[in-house]
Structure 1
């Protein structure tokens, strides 16, 4: 089985406190882990994720802290499918995870350097739930109450944000492909975001493409969805001379989609003066391609750590880290 690609976003955020604690977040997390001890002691119950805990840590002196956090549901039976079944029907069977294991359904990879973080999430983990987990971890270690009074805020490139505010938006370009836009739609409740609506639109196109082919051809077509590019251009006729209400609406939609977290849609806005601004240039997020394990759906933590370190080095080089 070949390794499959996983298109992810690296999120650049900062832990923001009402009152700054004596230590930055990375030192608080290190202190909590040392006080708690083994990985099993880092487990906390989370209503949306089941049990979450640190699966791996790279805690070296004078280096950023790197964490792989996993979440799963202990004791939950997973339905299995029979292979090489000779009967006409197969009855679903549930199997329990091995002792002291849980079926992992979500994970997050985190680089923490003082109060700045880079994150990659998978499954039900979101940037906000990583913050919740870290707050619960610090609380479990019984550190000071004020040490958990933080939230994650996106680190923006103020130069590009200023350009966007001053020049407005003339054109919005959204780019994806059939596979990336629709492979996570099944079982997911659609939201009202711009990218979610684009994916619903692409899903309709996908059905249109497949409706007039037989089953064998549809299966073959499904193997090539990644080759079908979908480019959507939204612009106001008349360019910078368009009615102000239209341009204001464009600006509102453009700012909304630039602020969204979606691994499967590439976003570019064109300002009234013709300047191109990409998603990562404003929110300091970065689209990347990772590879899943050869025999599983997981990401390889050592490979993810390397990518996070490379991203941090690039931000340091461009003087955007701890600015």
Structure 2
């Protein structure tokens, strides 16, 4: 059986603290210290809403080598929760639900994340129900709490790293048109209930469109439709009537929305901005990220952590060559 391809986004973020509140140690040093205090997989387990239990599944073999970037594979799953099974090869006319529990000391894996940490710089790639880097930052805050770190050491967040030249162009020229490109598929995915930003608002809007489409077909065809949401492209254009001659409040509102969306554009979407000065800027040009093609393991839905770490190393090298990697 051939391995299935998977297109994933790698986010480049920075661990940031309130002004004047940065701990003496870097984020990387804090994570290393937490892992020394919590040496086993079970020690790193914390409970997160919508993702079950999350922990450090695999540490790179040289994770204690301060001269190398710290690379980890995280996983989240439902511990002890029975899952219903389908009698795919049943000869009966009807299938009776049979539940199965995960093996002892294991959980049904719902999501995973792969990270590379160097100083306060972090590369993050997620898969499954985990979308983007915010869940990963919440996990590390919980990990630091479990390791007994001070409140100030826990008081960080991940912020995307920007291409400042592109951002300055956007701020200088203003927004003429916003174009959101994506598919319907991810609107159906389970979302973190704490995510109430632009990302969630876009998904809510997609769900309303899905409802309209479902209302137009019979009940028996809805399951088939649900399997094909990825075949629906969703392209939305937002532009003020009158273009650059529109009322200033209209233009200012569009500028503000564009600024927010660039920082929070969903993994399954792309934002293309036409400026009033004639430039065209894609969200990936402003917020530094990379789309990679990797492959799932044979006969499994898992991503290979060694391959994912290699992708993260390659993107780090690319950022260094672009003089965009901060040390």
Answer whether TM exceeds 0.5 for this pair.
yes
Check if 1:168 corresponds to 2:200.
Answer: no
Distance 1:143 1:247 in 2: 45
- The separation in 1 between residues aligned to 2:304 and 2:187, in whole angstroms, is 20
State the partner residue of 2:44.
42
Q: For each residue in 1:117-144, what CA deviation from the matched residue of structure 2 results, as whole angstroms up to 9, or x when unmatched?
A: 1111231465233222222323333345
TM-score under structure 1 normalisation? Answer: 0.84
- Tell me how far 1:70 sits from its aligned partner: 0.8
- TM-score of the aligned structures, taking structure 2 as reference length: 0.83
Q: 2:76 matched to 1:74? A: no
**Pick aligned residue for 2:184 from 181, 185, 188:** 181
**May I ask how many residue pairs the two structures share in their alignment?**
315
1:250 aligns with 2:254: yes
**SS of equivalent to 1:62:** coil
Tell me, what secondary structure is at the counterpart of 1:138?
Answer: helix
Q: Counterparts of 2:113 and 2:155 in 1: how far apart (Å)?
A: 21
Matches within 5 A, 1:1-323: 2-18=2-18, 19-58=21-60, 59=63, 60-122=65-127, 123-124=129-130, 126-176=132-182, 180-185=183-188, 193=198, 195-196=202-203, 199-200=206-207, 203=210, 211=217, 229-322=233-326
* CA-atom RMSD in angstroms: 3.1
- C-alpha displacement at 1:42, in angstroms? 1.7
- Segments of structure 2 that go 5 or more residues without pairing to the other structure are none
CA shift in 2, pair 1:143/1:187, >3 Å: closer
SS at structure 1 position matched to 2:299? coil
Q: Which moved more, 1:283-292 or 1:19-28?
A: 283-292
**5+ residue gaps, structure 1:** none
Contact kept? 1:175, 1:266, Cα under 8 Å:
yes
Runs of 4+ in 1 over 4 A off after TM superposition: 186-192, 204-208, 221-230
C-alpha deviation, 1:33, in angstroms:
1.3
